[in-house]
């Protein structure tokens, strides 16, 4: 039985896939918080270079990947599609109950984040930008962008969510090896940061807060731009290289998926693997279910409200139509830092609203147990974020087994967990907590969302 499905580097996709024009109804535009009108390119020009702004609003189905970006993609792409045959046997599955995963942990940052970090740095360099500022949660985005900035000669400042900064010191070292400047957010460098520290000096920080700090950092600083690792349309777009490769690989494996599974924080890795398969389903070429997996501690799809909200705590971003828990919802300090975001990217939110996908929320102790089982069988230690998808894939497989049904499952293994061993240590020591009931915190945060 073949385990790994590899493709040659000339098969790295030449185009990103933009799902926006293929939706049965168009997604709602981003709004200017002052005017309530859809934002135009000029409204975003302070934050992003025009190359990315054009992608953000594009209604073209395909966007060419620049040669220079594809050249860098060769460092780790195409990534392997792997059959989890040892996990299948451990679960006692039948031959027609199959689990495949696309493994993005082979990139320089150890996660899918490099797929968008490289083009973002590229378009900024093309626009003459000298310096980027960004936020990072678990540190995967920051690591990815630090490598990309180093390649394209950009200076980088990273606001790293404090709880992750403390839990994952090695992520900071990785960024510093690439020359980045890294600070624990909230910092005293920004107004938003100072206010947050005043309110609660011991705050864990959050992605929403760190975003505010990075945005505040660049506004009004010529030569500086902002970069975001998820949520926005152009970020999701860049990640579709994952699904395009996977489509070719499941063809080689004769294993078109009945269900595609991914973890969801801001939604970019999920979009990356799912959107190309959704295109096939929308075109009537396939019938596939799509499942986004989120933490019970931060359940934006399963418990959030679909409405306009800010992307950040400081209310500095445009208003986006999203499933949100409220822009000042502060998630508990779970170890899947990359999933600690109060809302869900607009394109994912739109797909969920249209019934094109399902969502499920899972607690972290079960996630880590699934991760250990996966590692013992497949020899890869997953990032806690990625392990959310593993748990859901195992649940899907066991449901198929119980029903006696054939099922082919594909999930996105977004990254490795070799920099998350502190979290695994706590898991082994029985010290992980679950945070299953954030309803009161959601209700309080939603009261600050004007449109709700």
Q: In whole angstroms, how close is the CB of 116 to a copy of itself at the nearest point? A: 15
Q: Which of 11, 23, 68, 76 binds a copy of itself (CB under 8 A)?
A: 76
**Which one of the spans 16-24, 108-116, 159-167, 208-216 is the region binding a copy of itself (CB under 8 A)?**
108-116
Query: Which of these ranges, 14-22, 34-42, 167-175, 212-220, lies near a copy of itself under the rule CB under 8 A?
Result: 167-175
> What is the distance of C-alpha 115 from the center of its chain?
11
Binder of a copy of itself out of 418, 434, 436, 452 (CB under 8 A) = 418
Q: Select 158 or 419, whichever has its Cβ closest to a copy of itself.
A: 419
Taking the C-alpha atoms of residue 49 and residue 362, their distance in angstroms, rounded to an integer, is 37
Tokens coding 17: 């896939």
Question: Which of these, 163, 381, 377, 141, lies nearest to 265 by C-alpha position?
Answer: 141
In sequence order, the 6+-apart residues with CB closer than 8 A to the CB of 222 are none
- Burial class (CB within 10 angstroms; exposed 0-12, middle 13-18, buried 19+) of 369: middle
Q: Is 451 in the site for a copy of itself (CB under 8 A)?
A: no
For 134, the token pair is 């960004």
Query: Tokens at residue 4, please?
Result: 């790994």
Q: Which is nearer to a copy of itself, 49 or 108 (CB)?
A: 108
234 binds a copy of itself (CB under 8 A): no
Nearest to 268 by CA among 227, 305, 297: 227
Q: Does 132 interact with a copy of itself (rule: CB under 8 A)?
A: no
Distance of closest approach, residue 36 Cβ to a copy of itself, in angstroms: 44
Residue 132, C-beta contacts closer than 8 angstroms, at least 6 positions apart: 120, 121, 124, 145, 149, 154, 155, 156, 157, 218, 224, 225, 226, 227
Q: Interface with a copy of itself includes 236 (CB under 8 A)?
A: no
Whichever of 108 and 267 has its CB closer to a copy of itself, that residue is 108
Under a CB-based contact definition with an 8 Å cutoff, are residues 414 and 169 in contact? Answer: no
**In this structure, are strands 407-413 and 97-103 parallel, antiparallel, or unpaired?**
parallel
Q: Which residue has the tokens 């045959």?
A: 85
Q: What is the 3-state secondary structure (H, E, C) of 363-428?
A: CHHHHHHHHHHHHHHHCCCECHHHHHHHHHHHHHHHHHHHHCCCEEEEEEECEECCCCHHHHHHHH
Q: Which of these ranges, 71-79, 152-160, 234-242, 332-340, lies near a copy of itself under the rule CB under 8 A?
A: 71-79
Closest residue by Cα to residue 339 from 293, 378, 305, 308: 293
Minimum distance, C-beta of residue 76 to a copy of itself, in the bound complex (Å): 7
- For position 252 contacting a copy of itself by CB under 8 A, the verdict is no
Residue 4 near a copy of itself by CB under 8 A: yes
- Between helix 364-378 and helix 421-428 the angle, nearest 10°, is 110
- The interface region with a copy of itself, picked from 6-14, 253-261, 388-396, 400-408 by CB under 8 A, is 6-14
Compute the least distance from the CB of residue 140 to a copy of itself, in Å: 12
In the list 57, 75, 184, 369, the residue contacting a copy of itself (rule: CB under 8 A) is 75
Applying CB under 8 A, the site for a copy of itself has a residue count of 40
- Contacting range for a copy of itself; rule: CB under 8 A; set: 16-24, 41-49, 154-162, 379-387: 379-387
Cα–Cα distance between 418 and 427 in angstroms, integer?
14
Binding marks (x or -) toward a copy of itself, 172..201, rule CB under 8 A?
Answer: -xx-xxx-----------------------
| Position 23 contacts a copy of itself (CB under 8 A) | no
- Residues at the interface with a copy of itself (CB under 8 A): 2-4, 6, 8-9, 74-76, 86, 106-108, 110, 114, 147, 150-151, 169-170, 173-174, 176-178, 372, 375-376, 378-381, 416, 418-419, 421-422, 424-425, 428
């Amino acid at each position: 039985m073949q385990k790994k499905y590899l493709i040659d580097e000339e098969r790295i996709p030449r185009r990103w896939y933009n799902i926006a024009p293929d939706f049965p109804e168009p997604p709602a535009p981003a709004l200017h918080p002052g005017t309530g009108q859809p934002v135009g390119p000029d409204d975003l020009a302070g934050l992003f270079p025009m190359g990315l702004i054009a992608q953000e609003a594009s209604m073209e189905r395909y966007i060419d990947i620049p040669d220079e970006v594809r050249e860098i993609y060769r460092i780790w792409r195409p990534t392997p599609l792997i059959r989890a045959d040892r996990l299948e046997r451990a679960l006692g599955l039948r031959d027609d109950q199959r689990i495949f995963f696309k493994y993005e942990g082979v990139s320089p940052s150890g996660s899918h984040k490099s797929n968008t970090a490289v083009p973002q740095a590229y378009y900024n360099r093309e626009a003459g930008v000298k310096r980027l500022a960004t936020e990072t949660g678990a540190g995967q985005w920051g690591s990815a962008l630090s490598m990309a900035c180093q390649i394209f000669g950009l200076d980088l400042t990273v606001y790293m969510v404090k709880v992750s900064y403390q839990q994952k010191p090695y992520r900071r070292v990785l960024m510093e090896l690439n020359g980045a400047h890294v600070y624990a957010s909230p910092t005293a460098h920004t107004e938003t940061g100072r206010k947050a520290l005043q309110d609660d000096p011991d705050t864990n920080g959050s992605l929403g807060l760190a975003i505010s700090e990075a945005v505040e950092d660049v506004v009004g600083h010529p030569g500086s731009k902002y970069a975001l690792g998820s949520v926005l349309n152009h970020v999701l777009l860049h990640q579709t290289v994952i699904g395009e490769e996977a489509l070719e690989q499941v063809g080689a494996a004769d294993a078109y998926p009945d269900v595609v599974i991914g973890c969801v924080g801001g939604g970019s890795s999920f979009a990356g693997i799912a959107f190309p398969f959704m295109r096939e389903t929308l075109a009537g070429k396939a019938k596939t279910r799509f499942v986004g997996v989120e933490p019970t501690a931060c359940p934006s799809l399963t418990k959030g409200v679909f409405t306009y909200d800010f992307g950040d705590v400081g209310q500095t971003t445009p208003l986006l139509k999203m499933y949100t828990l409220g822009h000042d919802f502060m998630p508990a300090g779970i170890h899947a830092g990359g999933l600690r975001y109060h809302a869900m990217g607009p394109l994912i939110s739109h797909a969920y609203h249209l019934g094109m996908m399902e969502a499920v929320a899972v607690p972290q102790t079960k996630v880590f147990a699934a991760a250990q089982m996966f590692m013992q069988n497949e020899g890869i230690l997953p990032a806690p974020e990625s392990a959310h998808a593993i748990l859901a894939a195992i649940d899907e497989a066991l449901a198929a087994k119980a029903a006696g049904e054939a099922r082919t499952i594909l999930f996105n293994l977004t990254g490795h967990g070799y920099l998350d061993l502190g979290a695994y240590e706590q898991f082994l020591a029985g010290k992980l907590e679950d945070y299953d009931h954030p309803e009161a915190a959601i209700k309080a945060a939603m009261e600050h969302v004007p449109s709700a």
